[in-house]
Structure 1
Amino acid sequence: MSDEPPRAAGRTARTAAPALLATALLVTGCGGGHKGASAGASPAGGMEKLPEATTYTTLDDLPRDEAPSAKSDGTVVHPDDTVPVSAKPGAPAVAELPSTQLKGPTWVPVLESRPGWRRVLLPSRPNGVTGWIPDSGLKSARSSSTVKVDLGDRRLTLSRDGRQVGAWSVAVGAPKTPTPTGRTFLLASLAPEKPTFSPLVLPVGAHSATLDTFGGGPGTVAFHGWPTKSVFGKAVTHGCVRVPADALKQLAEVPLGTPVQITD
């Protein structure tokens, strides 16, 4: 097991395809929405193709996270290649987890381990969907960071090795478009070539509970900056978490796959 997975603002984010960077904000719930494919959908020709576990898909045949408030030990894994995803260890695969997400490496947190298998949190809908993947062909690491968002206090806290390193007042989802609660993780890092309101967008593995589609992407929740400081401390977003510049800079150093805990 290596010490840490790649950091959010590492080489992958800076070298992502220009087309992706130009539409980075369309991926998120702040400007994104795309009706994802559902598990079990059959393509033309009648042969069923397993859906990919990405932020664009809905996986209804897999179990949900039954302990969304539980703490993770920081173990994260990255598949070297696409791996099958099952509802139980040894059960038939109902999805596939690709080795990349949004032009970057896929790192997902481990919730449970059994001989030969890892239960991981997935980036698809519904929020909190999990699956079992074979332990072979995985790179394993540990993130020492933890990100917490308290929606009631509208406050973000970043800790490393159990020690708080920063806390900021943030803007969260409005009452009609709330930020979803529960356990999720840092999914990717996107740097728009022509940023309109944030130099960096950090999607997480959760989606808006009220917006199925918005502006052309899957409604993925994300951390991002905002040019107007007056929004911080308010519930005004489409579900994303708007953060001050210093918080965004700190979050950019957080490794992919790092657990994110969002509470009421």
Structure 2
Amino acid sequence: MTRRPHPAALVAVVAVGVLAVSGFWVLAPLRDLAIARSAEPPAAVARSEAPPSPAAEPAADPDTGPVPYARNDTVYDISALPVIDVRSVNPAMPVDDDPMGPVTSSLARPLGAGAPVFADPTGQPVGQLPRDHHYGGTTVPVVEAQVDWVKVLLPGRQGVPPEGNGGQTVGWLRAADVELTTTAQYVEVHLQANTIDVVSAAGRERVSDQFAWGKPSTPTPTGRTFIMWTTVVPEFRYTEGHPMVYLGVQSPVMAGFDGGDVAVTAFHYYRTREGDTSFGCIYLDGPAVDRLAQLPPGTPVMIKP
């Protein structure tokens, strides 16, 4: 990145990522969730303003796995909750504790105006994810699914570097608050191998085997993330008219970029595309970034070292 961003555009700073292949493409959670929801009788929505009864932390069982979190039918006024978006800094939001872990092929998007976001399904909501937002980030990948809850990757930061942790955030949404769809593909990036693939049931499509990534002082973040927003920014002349493909993760070391208050990772075109030379973004040739720009919002991305 070498130019000051247009006020209406996000500042791209870090690179795009990849999803873990091992155990990644798991259709079962979405399928099981749909079966469970169709089998249970409709429940009346509790209209109480009182907080739900606390539920015990699910305990791992070697045979059956974690005990599902208890259902929460409390009605929340989401307008009173802080918005979770690319610019938000919310200390209550957890940073992903398993960045190289799998995700499912399920995507979640809030119903209605938005959905309350929980750091922990046994607690109270700490924010709200809107259904629509100018900068995207509202269709998000599911990394864990239960009958009544889904754990998802989210935009925004827990803290601002260098003092705070700017890594990929996660949160829980109630299954009743979201619509669930499936995605047929994900992006896998290997920084040292210098490869980017679009992976689907049909196999691997090599998108690039020559790109630049973050230098040691401004590294490209690694781990699981997702495509947040894709747009063309004519003011970024270095892109030569190609799209910016912004991700949900931001720089681990930069508070902002070029005068902005965000340091968002992106795939984008740049004339120099070799080695660890960027501020964190992944610099690609035109055909590669144009191909990635075809992927829909929420598409999972895994960045491996």
- Structure 1 CA distance for aligned equivalents of residues 6 and 253 of structure 2: 26
Judge conservation of contact 2:195–2:206 (CA < 8 Å) in 1. no
Pairwise CA RMSD: 2.2
Residues 137, 154 of structure 2: 8 Å contact kept: no
Pairing partner for 1:175 from 216, 220, 223: 216
Determine if the alignment matches structure 1 residue 220 to structure 2 residue 220. no
* 5+ residue gaps, structure 1: 1-20, 31-47
Contact 2:250 2:264 in 1 (8 A): yes
Code of the residue aligned with 1:67 in structure 2: it is D
CA gap 1:181/1:105 in 2 versus in 1, 3 angstroms: closer
For the structure 1 residues 193 and 257, does the alpha-carbon distance in structure 2 shift closer, same or farther, using more than 3 Å as the test? same
Among 29, 41, 60, which residue is 2:13 paired with? Answer: 29
Instruction: Say yes or no: does 1:121 pair with 2:153.
Output: yes
Give, in whole Å, the separation in 1 of the partners of 2:195 and 2:269: 14
Partner in structure 2 of residue 38 of structure 1: none
Residue 28 of structure 1 contacts residue 217 of structure 1 at CA under 8 Å; is this kept in 2?
no
Per-residue CA deviation, residues 105-160 of structure 1 (Å, 9 max, x unaligned), is 72100111222211111111132321111212422111111111212223222222
CA 1:68 to 1:243, structure 2 compared with 1: closer, same or farther past 3 Å? Answer: same
**Structure 1 position 100 matched with structure 2 position 132:** yes
Please give the per-residue CA displacement for 1:8-31, whole angstroms capped at 9, x wherever unaligned: xxxxxxxxxxxxx9446542227x
CA distance in 2, matches of 1:101, 1:180: 24
Between 209-218 and 183-192, the greater mean CA deviation after superposition: 209-218
Equivalents in 2 of 1:114, 1:91: separation in Å? 17
Structure 1 residue 237: deviation in Å? 0.8
The 3-state SS of whatever aligns with 1:248 is: helix
- The equivalent of 1:51 in structure 2 is 82
Aligned to 1:206: 249
* Secondary structure of 1:197 counterpart: helix
Aligned CA distance change for structure 1 residues 254 and 85 (closer, same or farther; 3 Å): same
* Corresponding residue number in structure 2 for 1:109: 141
* 1:76 matched to 2:107: yes
**Secondary structure class of the residue paired with 1:206:** strand
129 and 195 in structure 1: CA distance in 2 versus 1, 3 angstrom threshold: closer
2:193 corresponds to which of 153, 163, 166 = 153
**How many corresponding residue pairs?**
224
Change beyond 3 A, Cα 1:222–1:101? farther
Q: Distance in 2 between matches of 1:225 and 1:25?
A: 16
Unaligned runs of 5+ in 2: 15-78, 158-165
CA distance in 2, matches of 1:174, 1:225: 17
The structure having more radius of gyration, on CA atoms, is 2
One-letter amino acid matched to 1:102? H
Matches of 2:7 and 2:275, distance apart in 1: 26
Q: Matched residue of 2:289: which SS? A: helix
After TM superposition, the structure 1 = structure 2 runs for residues 247-258 of structure 1, keeping only pairs within 5 Å, are 247-258=288-299
Q: Report the 3-state secondary structure (helix = DSSP H, G, I; strand = E; otherwise coil) of the residue aligned with 1:62.
A: coil
Equivalent of 1:239, from 255, 280, 286?
280
Contact 2:227-2:298 at 8 Å conserved across structures: yes
Equivalence for 2:231: 190
Measured against aligned partners, the alpha-carbon deviations of 1:146-183 in whole angstroms (never above 9, x if no partner) come to 11121222322222226111231111011110001111
- Which amino acid counterpart does residue 142 of structure 1 have in structure 2? T
TM-score of the superposed pair, with normalisation by structure 2: 0.68
Q: Tell me how far 1:247 sits from its aligned partner.
A: 0.8
- Whether the 8 Å CA contact 1:24–1:190 is kept in 2: the answer is no
Deviations 1:193-240 (A, max 9, x none): 4441222111101111111122214001111111x2xx3231111111
